[in-house]
Amino acid sequence: MTPREVLALCREREIQAIDLRFMDFPGTQKHFTIPAKILVEKSFEDGFGFDGSSMRGWKAINESDMLVVPQPDTAFVDPFMPNTLVMTCNIQDPITREDYAKDPRNVARKAESYMRSTKIADVANFGPEAEFFIFDDVRFDQNEHECYYHVDSIEGQWNRGKAGSGPNAGYKIRHKEGYFPVPPADTLQEARTEMMLALMDCGVDVEAQHHEVATGGQCEIDMKYAPLLKTADNLLRYKYIVKNVAAKYGKTATFMPKPLWNDNGSGLHLHMSLWKEGKPLFAGSRYGGLSEMGMYAMGGILKHAPALFAFCCPTTNSYKRLISGFEAPINLTYSYRNRSAAIRIPVHSPHPENKRFEFRCPDSSSNPYLAMSAVLMAMLDGIQNKIDPGHPLEKDIYDLKPDELAELPGVPVSLEEALQALRDDHKFLLVGDVFTEDVIDTWIWYKTDHEVAALRERPHPFEFAMYYDI
């Protein structure tokens, strides 16, 4: 929509409030709301001021003033708040009017612009499969003298012997057996359908929704592929809608990668393809039906994967998911059909327009603007430098003998290791000024001080189980 069309929509739908949203540096959506009468056509150029010093990883207190500039093509009517229109905003410096380098959305815009400048492609399509859990009860705390968490779901296997105020129907999903059950075992069908319909009403194309593998309420709603920036914008809507529909049902949704021990975690599988002048560039006669360009793009991702993990798997909890035996990729390889590889080439359709590959390592704790931008930059580097992805993996990783497994490059085992990889390998991200040294340094500093060090300093509950009687 144009600014005039947004204003017309406001009149047509009797909009009274405009919710202005953006994403902070680590990846949490923020907002503030203005009366609809304040929004005029000039607002889409002038923007609205706010205090940037309170945003994590952004401006210092002595240079805190910033602008949010609403983007009319992101407008949608909020399905939860009455008479409210939502718009995603870009962040600008109020004096220079330059786009702010540490605005994650600005990084994504620059990544797409740089891609077009290379003449390699004019569109990078991303199709995300975002997994999440819906719980009925969550409690956790951290103090000087205690640390605990407790999550519960009426679907959870641990509840099959529970006695309470009402009868126990017995339909509990066993660990690792939650894929595609029908109701009544699948207690979340109605809520997921409402999420799907709300997404579609808000302009997000959906391909399917279903229960996922884990017990205790793991779900997935698949969005149709779209260009990088639009997909990142859609993922913000996705999280907002999932969390609010869950709240409507008296439940709580989390995109934490590994909230349950000893069962599958939640990933953000990214299906990717490059296009130019309306034609797909990854279809060809090489391995798995890929083109030479597609092979080089995979080579770029595999070469830079350890550094990419700092953005694609950016929490300490991410690495609880990346372990053997739970369908998460633990080795940096590629394969046709094989879901145990870091990159999988799907076989759903022989049509060239459907030819793509799937990067299975990322998870939904990531900032989608930064994660997908980093992956695109790795693909472009692979294409420009003709990086060979090596030999494919035709066996199930989990069936390999130790000596065979030792020959495969492994994923980082901790956030600290991934941040060090980013420190050592980030020149490919700086090309075209897409990422800047300041963005990289701030990301490493924030994640190290606020997450890696914070967790390392605190006793863990399992340490009591292991060591209390030592």
Tell me the binding residues: 129, 131, 207, 212, 220, 264-265, 269, 271-273, 321, 327, 339, 358, 360
Strands 76-77 and 84-92: antiparallel
- Select which of 237, 344, 360, 426 is catalytic: 360
- Select which of 31, 175, 339, 423 is catalytic: 339
Q: Is there a catalytic annotation at residue 351?
A: no
- Select which of 112, 129, 222, 416 is catalytic: 129
Positions at the binding site for L-glutamate: 264-265, 321, 327, 339, 360
- Strand blocks (E) in 83-229: 84-92, 123-135, 137-142, 147-152, 206-211, 218-223, 226-227
Cα–Cα distance measured from residue 80 to residue 244, given in angstroms and rounded to the nearest whole number: 8
Q: Is there a catalytic annotation at residue 177?
A: no
Cα–Cα distance measured from residue 121 to residue 379, given in angstroms and rounded to the nearest whole number: 11
Q: Which helix (H) or strand (E) holds 384?
A: helix 368-384
Q: Is there a catalytic annotation at residue 358?
A: yes
Q: Report the alpha-carbon angle 110-114-117, nearest 5.
A: 140
Q: Is there a catalytic annotation at residue 45?
A: no
Give DSSP secondary structure letters for 141-177: EE-SS-EEEEEE-TTBGGGTT---SS------BPTT-
Nearest CA to 315 out of 265, 366, 268, 357 is that of 366
Q: Is there a catalytic annotation at residue 112?
A: no
- Select which of 103, 186, 263, 358 is catalytic: 358
Residue 33 phi, psi dihedral angles, 5° rounding: -125, 140
Positions at the binding site for ATP: 207, 271-273, 339
Instruction: For residue 85, give the 3-state DSSP assignment.
Output: strand
Cα-based distances in Å from 181 to 13, 210, 211, 213, 214: 39, 9, 7, 9, 11
Q: Is there a catalytic annotation at residue 144?
A: no
Nearest CA to 221 out of 203, 201, 204 is that of 204
- Select which of 112, 131, 233, 416 is catalytic: 131
- Select which of 24, 112, 136, 212 is catalytic: 212
Q: Quick check: bond before 184 cis, omega within 30?
A: yes
Asked if 121 and 114 touch (Cβ cutoff 8 Å), the reply is no
Cα–Cα distance measured from residue 319 to residue 292, given in angstroms and rounded to the nearest whole number: 32
Cα-based distances in Å from 173 to 193, 215, 254: 20, 5, 19
Positions at the binding site for Mg(2+): 129, 131, 212, 220, 269, 358
- Select which of 109, 211, 269, 344 is catalytic: 269
Cα 387 vs. chain centroid, distance in angstroms? 26
The number of beta carbons lying within 10 Å of the beta carbon of residue 354 is 17
Cα–Cα distance measured from residue 408 to residue 399, given in angstroms and rounded to the nearest whole number: 13
Give DSSP secondary structure letters for 266-334: --EEEEEEEEETTEESSBSSSGGGB-HHHHHHHHHHHHHHHHHHHHHS-STTHHHHSSTTTT---B--E
Q: Is there a catalytic annotation at residue 304?
A: no
Cα–Cα distance measured from residue 393 to residue 344, given in angstroms and rounded to the nearest whole number: 10
Active site residues: 51, 129, 131, 212, 220, 269, 339, 358, 360
